[in-house]
Structure 1
């Protein structure tokens, strides 16, 4: 679940948006502030320019004195995003460099009275749900769970797990994996194939390098964390039934909470009330990972219902239904796969991408469990964005 080093140095911080979830909602994030959509992209007469957010443009752009492409008022997209979402950023309460969330002690608004211009960071309120690109606050060495005896309908008795907890760390720690860096491969991108193909090589291309705007729309799109339905260069072209355009759409939320008190809770309970749905996206079959909408009985947030499919717009072959652990997919590299599309609720213990991995960066340590990259034989201690030390995410569910 990583697209790595050179290529991602710039996904950095617009991703601040996607990071987060649980503890107190905060203003001026990437899906608010100058990124907020002001409904000018619609057929409408007599739009009042002051209400359309005319002051937002100069936050990021200069018409005649820009310092980089796209008329950016910074040397690079990364620098621009970090000016708000970095460790010393002045435009947002989310510090995605270090995985820390703050409240705001003061805000300034544009003339429309609604769009935030600047934010002064106040008290640290928690750890960002998606970790951080350079440092993160996952308590990866402090994870716990309870076990209990469960009796199945056929009379079998077995131990099961509950009350899993991954607390935030007391302070940020250096990341051991992030979408900030790696070997430059979009792992699993492409169709299932009997020919060895580990994914899309992005390390040698300049047009395909990962930027913040590869995953996020800086101008707002009314989607969850302003995520693009089709990330740049993913190649995803499927129009899912019910939609008119390609991509995976995740409904935006009124209640935006970016921090967490338990990293095992991977859904978005704060969004459940206003985006609840029983329609979820999973793999079409073991041999066809194309997302397909299904209707269940459990109500979950739009985020939980769609996030696994959204991750696999890039990491295509990772989306797998149950029984994929024992059935050959036909792919030469991603042959047998853990279930990746199971959704039981927003709390925890789902079998999908976001349950085991964080979006931005993890500080998990892997000193005793080095594993090879897909299609390779050399061992690596890279933590793969996992939430617990030494592949402990497995033991969070499985009693072995």
Structure 2
């Protein structure tokens, strides 16, 4: 069985930077290759066309077609030709694509196409309560309607997607995964460090975090907040920097305990997690966040958002704590309780890793994916 992943991003020096979709695909290809399958990755939006192979995975870099006003159409037709040729050459049996911007909306393949929900633009705009571009909504809905089968990383994302597009599709739920063996337990630390890692952007609760930390600082003046991730433009206000918007929200005293390290290489994230006592994710919009799973695998106590998808990742009070990001007082109290109780942190951290091993480890998830695709191809 040969599975191809069509994606706008993948974390590799030749394909550029990547977010959660690319990281999830990287984990899946490694897991499938370990099971003896032959995964392919087709990355569009590249600066050149290129094919190379690495660690049992075939990569195809695809340069977009540049025709004013029609690039979207001719790029899709170029991808269609590549997929159909690979299928004719017996190089692939099925193609998986993300829901983001509906890349497969005008791609007609001779093989089966599966859409996996990681959160479409329409989905995130719905959660953010802002307008979505007409073209993105059109292509995303058309791609979902035309897909041979549909997956979702969380039940919440599947239900919301059906609602906002007026669909009645039966989504199979297979979560995102990580290689838990690569995220070894960090061990106990006596630091008073709180870590957020991810993009600095409104939808991830970064404009709530200063208010939360102000209250933590009042309860525990020794607490420190470390922020790791690239800065982002704020869509609602047009401000070029979310970090610039955050700074005036801290009290003068609390601001002295805040460190922003900017974006770091993915390989450095584990060092940041290891140094922290508590990880925080006060987000308003996710599908099923890989960052949470990575911190859990390293036995870190987490205080995260309680919205929608969250209970599918963390069992509240067992493998982490879930609080609404706008409830600054309660959020701060949960963080402070963990900072002050090493035994509690250890208990929650160990439960978090056990949940990752049983639900989100690549060995478990890759097998679920392989079985799903085999059933699909057998129909």
Q: TM-score range by the shorter chain?
A: under 0.3
Structure with a larger share of its residues in strand: 1
Structure with a larger share of its residues in helix: 2
Q: Normalising by the residue count of structure 2, what TM-score does the alignment of the two structures yield?
A: 0.26
Q: Normalising by the residue count of structure 1, what TM-score does the alignment of the two structures yield?
A: 0.25
**Structure possessing the higher relative contact order (Cα contacts under 8 Å, 6 or more residues apart):** 1
